[in-house]
């Protein structure tokens, strides 16, 4: 799997913003089959930051309905990446 396939997009929520500011933790939506080692390598090579730890969580897709028709969103996976204490959050992920 290519590095750009592992990380889909950054997650921008209230929780992820607070974690980024206070605890030096970044949140990403990642490929469902990505492992912690692949996520760590992708972040280190794409953003040039040293990673201390990676935590992952698999999310079930929600049921959505349009009138009487019921559909399901795809399952997805998120990763919380803790940077080492001496590392700064990459500028590309800073939100003004």
Who contacts 72 (Cβ-Cβ below 8 Å, separation ≥6)?
A: 61, 62, 63, 64
In a domain, 21, yes or no: yes
CB 53 within 8 A of CB 90: no
Report the pLDDT value the prediction gives residue 36, as an integer from 0 to 100. 97
Report the pLDDT value the prediction gives residue 34, as an integer from 0 to 100. 96
In a domain, 22, yes or no: yes
Instruction: Provide the domain count of the chain.
Output: 1
Report the pLDDT value the prediction gives residue 92, as an integer from 0 to 100. 67
pLDDT tens by residue, the chain, 96 residues: 788 899 999 999 999 999 999 999 999 999 999 999 999 999 999 999 999 999 999 999 999 999 999 999 999 999 999 999 888 877 666 664
Q: What angle do CA 81, 85, 13 make, to 5 degrees?
A: 40
Q: Could you tell me the CATH number of the domain that includes residue 24?
A: 3.30.70.330
Report the pLDDT value the prediction gives residue 94, as an integer from 0 to 100. 64
What is the C-alpha R_g of the chain?
A: 15
Report the pLDDT value the prediction gives residue 87, as an integer from 0 to 100. 83
**What is the domain extent for residue 63?**
3-83
In a domain, 56, yes or no: yes
């Amino acid at each position: 799997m290519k590095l750009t396939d592992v990380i889909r997009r950054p997650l921008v929520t209230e929780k992820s913003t607070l974690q980024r500011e206070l605890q030096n933790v970044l949140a990403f939506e990642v490929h469902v089959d990505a492992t912690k080692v692949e996520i760590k390598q992708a972040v280190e090579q794409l953003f040039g930051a040293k990673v201390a730890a990676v935590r992952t969580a698999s999310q079930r897709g929600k049921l959505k309905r349009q009138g009487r028709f019921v559909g399901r969103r795809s399952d997805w996976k998120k990763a919380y990446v803790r940077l080492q204490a001496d590392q700064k959050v990459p500028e590309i992920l800073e939100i003004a």
